[in-house]
Structure 1
Amino acid sequence: MEVKQIEKVLKAPAPHMVGDGFRVHNFFPSGYEIDMSPFFLMDYGSKIEFSARREPRGVGVHPHRGFETVTIAYHGAVAHHDSSGNSGIIYPGDVQWMTAASGILHKEYHEQSYSLAGGPFQMVQLWVNLPAKAKMSKPKYQAVKQVDMAKFILPNDGGVIEVIAGNYNSIKGNASTFTPIEVYNARLNKGVKATFHFKSTYNTGFMIIEGSVKVNNLEIADQDMFVHFKNEGERIEVEALENSVILVLSGEPIDEPIVQYGPFLMNTEEEINQAISDYNQGRFGYLEE
């Protein structure tokens, strides 16, 4: 099977704040002009220490339409609420897959006990585009807790592949998706090699959350770097040079036009205007700040 070649190993772009609780590096679409469809956006919150605070930091009420947000926690804890009455807490190792679709108001902030204690904080948030036929479907949540996560245990105490969505070695992820998507956390112990297989046409990238790895016995990628692959070949081999955590992303591109305006991700300008109108008229519901 042909090796999926590396396009480029990308360093983290300069960080910026989202609200006062999330310091993120936007790898795409603004950080680098790379095509990772169906993943439209990746905000990587590299590890940072937050001081203790009584009033939790976070992001106030904001709308979403036309896509899904996927929040993956590595350190720290995030609480959230939405205009449909849903709420929850995302602890380290957990994943929250929110389908905004036809529209939702949302707010997220540091969980109270974490905020009072302070400490390390590290997260990833992805925006996953929806195909046109699903953009106005009903909003929903999929909470993938660490304790329930589908896992492939590597032999000889090599580590674990946590399958959030998709399929790895016949282990199927908990999250359902609208288009073919693979999302894993590969937690590899030092010296271990792991192999991944994706279709040559899939857009694929590895975010190095922790540690250092050698990819395809060729290039080294360290913590906070993103490995972007070419759309050719199917096989990727990774060797952990130290205990490492890799966020693995691969998916079938959605070959449709995209028009983005802030938190709206649609196919046409008319749909964006409709989203703005619906939001201004209160059709996304109500959520207290």
Structure 2
Amino acid sequence: METKQISKILQAPAPHMVGDGFRVHNFFPSGYKIDMNPFFLMDYGSKIEFSARKEPRGVDIHPHRGFETVTIAYHGAVAHHDSAGNSGIIYPGDVQWMTAASGILHKEYHEQAYSLDGGPFQMIQLWVNLPAAYKMSKPKYQAIKQADMASFNLPENGGHIEIIAGNYQNITGNASTFTRIELYNARLNKGGKASFTFPAAFNTGFMVVEGAIRVNEKETAEVNNFIHFENEGEEIHIEALQNSVILVLSGEPINEPIVQYGPFLMNTQEEINQAMRDYNEGKFGYLEG
């Protein structure tokens, strides 16, 4: 198989706050104009220390329609509530996969005990687009605990690959998806090696959450770097230069028009207008503040 070459190694854009609890670097679509379809957005929360506080920081009630939010915890703890009646807390290693689809209200904030103690905080949130056929389907929620996550142990004590979605070495991830998506946490020990195979047409990127890696025996990427790959070739090889954590994203593009307005991601402007009308008329349900 042909090697999938690097397109760019990207530095973290300047951070901004989402609410008062999430300091994020938006790698796409705002930070860099790269094609990661079906992943529409990636907010990377690099490691930060939050001071102890009685009142939890976070983001108040807000709507979504037409896509899924995937939140991956590395440090800290986040609580979630939504208007479909779902709630949960994600701790380091856990994943929260919320399908907004036809419309949902939700709020995200620092979990109470973490807020009282403070400490390191590091998260990633992805927006995963939905095909038109599923944009108005029923909302759902998947809580994926690290302890239950499918995993593959690398040879020679190289570390392991946690499979959130997709399939790695014939091991299938826990999350159900609407399109073909590969999403893993590669947790490599220093000197550990891993190989990945994705179709040439899949949009692929690696986020270095911790440590540093050598890619395809050539280029080096360090913590807080995002590696964007070309849409040619299939194989990627990495080696950890120190203990490292890498979020691996690869997905089959959804070849449909996209119109975004704030928290709505639809196919036409009329669908955006309808989403705003439905939200204003209370059709996204009710969530107590």
What is the TM-score with the length of structure 2 in the denominator?
1.00
Output the amino acid matched with 1:9.
Answer: I
Could you tell me which runs of 5 or more consecutive residues in structure 2 were left unpaired when the two chains were aligned: none
d(CA) in 1 for partners of 2:193, 2:153 = 13
Secondary structure of the 1:277 match is helix
Q: 1:125 & 1:237 partners in 2: Cα distance?
A: 25
Query: Does residue 141 of the first structure (1) align with residue 135 of the second (2)?
Result: no
Q: What does 1:178-257 correspond to in 2, within 5 Å? A: 178-257=178-257
Question: Aligned with 1:59: secondary structure?
Answer: strand
Q: Distance in 2 between matches of 1:208 and 1:276?
A: 37
Matches within 5 A, 1:6-85: 6-85=6-85
The AA in structure 2 aligned to 1:214 is R
Q: Measure how far apart 1:288 and its partner are.
A: 1.5
Paired letter, 1:259: V
Q: Give matches, 1:112-151, under 5 Å.
A: 112-151=112-151
| Separation of aligned partners in 1, 2:264 and 2:271 | 9
Residue pair 2:74, 2:92 contacting (<8 A) in 1 also: yes
- Three-state SS of the structure 1 residue aligned to 2:179 is coil
What's the CA shift for 1:155? 1.6
In the alignment, the residues of structure 2 paired with residue 156 and residue 29 of structure 1 have an alpha-carbon distance, to the nearest angstrom, of 38
Counterpart position of 1:165: 165
Please tell me the residue identity of whatever aligns with 1:160.
H
Identity %: 79
Q: Which deviates more, 152-161 or 30-39? A: 152-161
Instruction: Name 2:275's counterpart in structure 1.
Output: 275
May I ask how many residue pairs the two structures share in their alignment? 289
Q: CA deviation at 1:87?
A: 0.7
Match of 2:109 in 1: 109
Displacement over 6 Å in runs of 4+: none
CA deviation map 1:162-213 (0-9, x unaligned): 0000000001000010000000000000011110000000000000000000
Helix, strand or coil at the partner of 2:209: strand
* Per-residue deviation, 1:23: 0.1
Alpha-carbon distance between aligned partners in 2 of 1:155 and 1:13, rounded to the nearest angstrom: 35
Tell me how far 1:86 sits from its aligned partner. Answer: 1.1
Does the CA contact (< 8 Å) of 2:211 and 2:244 recur in 1?
yes
Letter in 2 for 1:258: I
Instruction: Quote how far apart the aligned CAs of 1:44 are.
Output: 0.1
Rounded to whole Å, the distance in 2 between the matches of 1:219 and 1:132 is 38
Distance in 1 (CA, whole Å) between partners of 2:151 and 2:52 is 34
Query: Amino acid of the residue matched to residue 104 of structure 2?
Result: I
Counterpart Cα distance in 2 of 1:69 and 1:91: 17
Instruction: List per-residue Cα deviations over 1:143-176 (Å, max 9, x = no partner).
Output: 1100100000112211110000000000100001
Superposition CA RMSD, Å: 0.4
Q: Give the Cα separation in 1 of the matches to 2:205 and 2:120.
A: 25
Say if 2:157 and 2:192, in contact at 8 Å, map to a contact too.
no
Residue 283 of structure 1 deviates from its aligned partner by 0.2
Measured against aligned partners, the alpha-carbon deviations of 1:209-268 in whole angstroms (never above 9, x if no partner) come to 000000011110000000000000000000100000000000000000000000000000
Alignment of 1:278-289 (within 5 A): 278-289=278-289
Alpha-carbon offset, residue 53 of structure 1: 0.1
In structure 2, distance between residues paired with 1:157 and 1:229? 27
C-alpha distance in 1 between matches for 2:88 and 2:180: 27
2:72 counterpart letter in structure 1: I
In the alignment, the residues of structure 2 paired with residue 136 and residue 42 of structure 1 have an alpha-carbon distance, to the nearest angstrom, of: 23
Shift of the alpha carbon at 1:100?
Answer: 0.3
Give the gaps of 5 or more residues in structure 1. Answer: none
